[in-house]
């Protein structure tokens, strides 16, 4: 049986970062992955341009049952540490919006960088590796289709459940349960929401700048009507904070006060129909549907103040309850996961099982859209790699 100081299961962003960091400290490291190549999710991330970090990352960008847990790692692994790696390899990048950094060329450059850094650290990588069994005696004993290995430290970096067709599995949760660790229930996140309500299906394709709110969180971005419900950045963001059965509130006209605007229209354009006037602010198909469903269309001077207030409500506060999400198949991440109260926020080692570590998306730490999830994977992998 071949012995290593550190075995990492899962060769995504967190596992690779952990392998290269521990390897470059002189640790004897083996990384095992079930897929035929490592870094599959990095390759598809950010529309294949990999939104690899966010300049303004802070703990508020993450949801977790234990919101303070991520603070320590985020303070030790800042975006400039990752940027210095890109600069070392001359990989060009650009800032899209709000601190979001993307590769100019392709995400593959990031995977190649990580592989080169693993090589420098002499970390061994084995793909197509099926883990059959893990036991802990004096060391962790790992039985696989490629042979048996033992290790002093075992790092689980197998990610969450989103996108099973590119290697996602519940393996990390199973190992956590096997060793008696608690799991915070999981659900798809950064995911489109679906509605039973068929009224909106003929609006598919319409995109609108909005303010979307749920559970005291708001996002000022666009929504996109789909055949199943709603998508677009504002919806993906709010899906991290939405729980089944809850309503979301959408302000379709966040830049104006419709009550004041209608009062003004009554003076300036009294004979104009409401659908024409609001049709200058929002897509006409959407306005038509809203007036059909929620308030009658007529010349603007025929609305009394009560009707004006009601009209403003339906455009400023569209309250709707999604029936669910489009699921793990297209979710970018998994909310919930290994309970971080079970781990040291400094090393990510289990309080119960010495030498057992969890890093990356497998943990109950979920980032917003904008480079925060990859940043969490790098940060957690780096902190463990430094101390394992």
Ligand X SMILES: Cc1cc2nc3c(=O)[nH]c(=O)nc-3n(C[C@H](O)[C@H](O)[C@H](O)COP(=O)(O)OP(=O)(O)OC[C@H]3O[C@@H](n4cnc5c(N)ncnc54)[C@H](O)[C@@H]3O)c2cc1C
In the complex, which residues of this chain contact ligand X (CB under 6 A)?
Answer: 9-15, 32-35, 38, 40-42, 44-46, 50-51, 131, 157-159, 162-163, 167-169, 171, 332-333, 360-361, 371-374, 377
CB of 279 to ligand X, least distance (A): 35
360 closest CA partner among 115, 33, 47, 84 = 33
Residues in Cβ contact with 363 at an 8 Å cutoff, skipping those fewer than 6 apart: 64, 337, 338, 340, 343, 348, 380
Minimum gap (Å) between residue 172 Cβ and ligand X: 7
Name the residue nearer to ligand X (CB basis): 15 or 385: 15
Minimum CB separation of residue 30 from ligand X in Å reads: 12
β-sheet bridge partners, residue 251: 211
47 vs 185, beta carbon nearer ligand X: 47
**In degrees, to the nearest 5, what angle opens at C-alpha 142 toward C-alphas 157 and 359?**
15
CA–CA distance, 91 with 74 (Å, rounded to integer):
23
Q: Which residue's CB is nearer to ligand X, number 315 or number 328?
A: 328
Of 175 and 203, the one with the shorter C-beta distance to ligand X is 175
Nearer to ligand X, 315 or 360 (CB): 360
Task: State in angstroms the smallest separation of the CB of 120 from ligand X.
Answer: 20
CB 217 within 8 A of CB 241: yes
The Cα-based distances of 126 to 33, 75, 122, 159 in angstroms read 6, 32, 13, 17
Hunting for tokens 């990859």 — which residue is that?
374
Nearer to ligand X, 43 or 314 (CB): 43
140 burial type by CB count under 10 A (0-12 exposed, 13-18 middle, 19+ buried): buried
CB of 104 to ligand X, least distance (A): 14
Tell the smallest beta-carbon distance from residue 128 to ligand X (Å). 10
Closer CB to ligand X, 311 or 384, in the complex = 384
Strands 140-144 and 131-136: antiparallel
Q: Please choose, from the candidates 341, 337, 348, the residue with its C-alpha nearest in 3D space to the C-alpha of residue 15.
A: 348
- Which residue is nearest to ligand X, using beta carbons? 12
Least gap, CB of 16 to ligand X (angstroms): 7
Q: How far is residue 385's CA from residue 388's CA, in Å, rounded to a whole number?
A: 6
């Amino acid at each position: 049986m071949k012995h290593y100081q550190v075995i990492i299961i899962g060769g995504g962003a967190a596992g690779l970062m952990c392998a290269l960091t521990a390897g470059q400290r002189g640790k004897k490291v083996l990384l095992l992955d079930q897929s035929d190549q490592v870094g599959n999710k990095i390759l598809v991330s950010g529309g294949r341009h990999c939104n690899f970090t966010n300049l303004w990352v802070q703990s508020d960008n993450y949801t977790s049952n234990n919101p303070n847990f991520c603070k320590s790692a985020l303070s030790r692994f800042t975006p400039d540490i990752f940027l210095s790696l890109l600069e070392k390899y001359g990989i060009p990048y650009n800032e899209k919006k709000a601190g979001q950094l993307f590769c100019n060329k392709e995400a593959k450059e990031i995977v190649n960088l990580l592989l080169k850094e693993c090589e420098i650290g002499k970390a061994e990588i084995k793909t197509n590796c099926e883990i059959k069994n893990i036991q802990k005696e004096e060391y962790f004993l790992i039985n696989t289709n490629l042979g048996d290995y033992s290790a002093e430290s075992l790092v689980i970096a197998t990610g969450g459940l989103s996108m099973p067709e590119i290697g996602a599995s519940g393996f990390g949760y199973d190992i956590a349960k096997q060793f008696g660790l608690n799991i915070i229930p999981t659900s798809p996140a950064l995911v489109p929401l679906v509605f039973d309500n068929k009224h909106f299906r003929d609006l598919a394709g319409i995109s609108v700048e909005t303010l979307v709110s749920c559970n005291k969180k708001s996002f000022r971005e666009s929504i996109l009507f789909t055949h199943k419900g709603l998508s677009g950045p504002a919806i993906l963001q709010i899906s991290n904070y939405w729980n089944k059965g809850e309503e979301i509130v959408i302000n379709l006209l966040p830049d104006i006060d419709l009550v004041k605007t209608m009062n003004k229209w009554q003076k300036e354009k009294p004979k104009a129909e409401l659908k024409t006037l609001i049709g200058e602010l929002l897509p006409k198909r959407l306005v038509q549907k809203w007036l059909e469903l929620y308030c009658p269309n007529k010349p603007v001077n025929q609305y009394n103040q009560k009707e004006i207030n009601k009209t403003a409500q339906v455009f400023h506060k569209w309250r709707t309850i999604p029936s669910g999400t489009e699921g793990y198949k297209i979710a970018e991440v998994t909310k919930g996961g290994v309970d971080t109260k079970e781990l040291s926020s400094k090393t990510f080692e289990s309080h119960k099982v010495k030498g057992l570590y969890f890093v990356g998306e497998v943990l109950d730490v979920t980032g917003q859209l904008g480079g925060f999830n990859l940043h969490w994977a790098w940060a957690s992998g780096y902190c463990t790699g430094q101390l394992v």
